[in-house]
Amino acid sequence: MADNVFESYQSGHVNVERSAVRSLNATTANVGQSAVQRLTAEAVTADGSVMGMVNASTAELKQSAAGVVAGDYVKVEESRVLFLLAPRVSGNVNAVLTLPAAFAFGAGYFLARRLLTAAFGRKR
């Protein structure tokens, strides 16, 4: 049985199972064992799926992975999210980049740039 591949899809209520979708716009989206590049909806429920970018008022991810998730309320269960932008989050969330780590990266970049400029900079 071949899996379905869609370029884009737009509807009120969408159930996607074992498919690949480039762009999905819906009021309510239930995604199961699928890959979605860009998903925009009021409510999203994903189970065992991979998504590039999710923009939703309410998003619930179970055993899924996403690059960017933005929403008003996000529930994460046994999932991975690279960038999470939400004021209310529930579930076991492990941050990839925390505030102290961001400051450490910034300070390291600044110091390395200064050292390289001093070592290999132009003479006036």
3-class DSSP string for the chain: CCCEEEEEEEEEEEEEECEEEEEEEEEEEEEECCEEEEEEEEEEEEECCEEEEEEEEEEEEECCEEEEEECCEEEEECCEEEEEECCEEEECCCCCCCHHHHHHHHHHHHHHHHHHHHHHCCCC
| Threshold 0.75, pTM exceeds | no
- Cα separation of 118 and 63, whole Å? 48
Q: Cβ distance 33 to 20 under 8 Å? A: no
Can you give the pLDDT of all 124 residues of the chain as single tens digits?
Answer: 346 665 665 668 899 999 999 999 999 999 999 999 999 999 999 999 999 999 999 999 999 999 999 999 999 999 999 888 999 999 987 777 777 888 999 999 999 999 999 888 766 5
Q: Whose CA is closest to 86, among 40, 112, 55?
A: 55
Residues comprising the chain, all counted: 124
- Cα separation of 68 and 120, whole Å? 38
Q: Cα 96 to the chain's mean position, in Å?
A: 12
Check residue 9 and give its pLDDT: 56
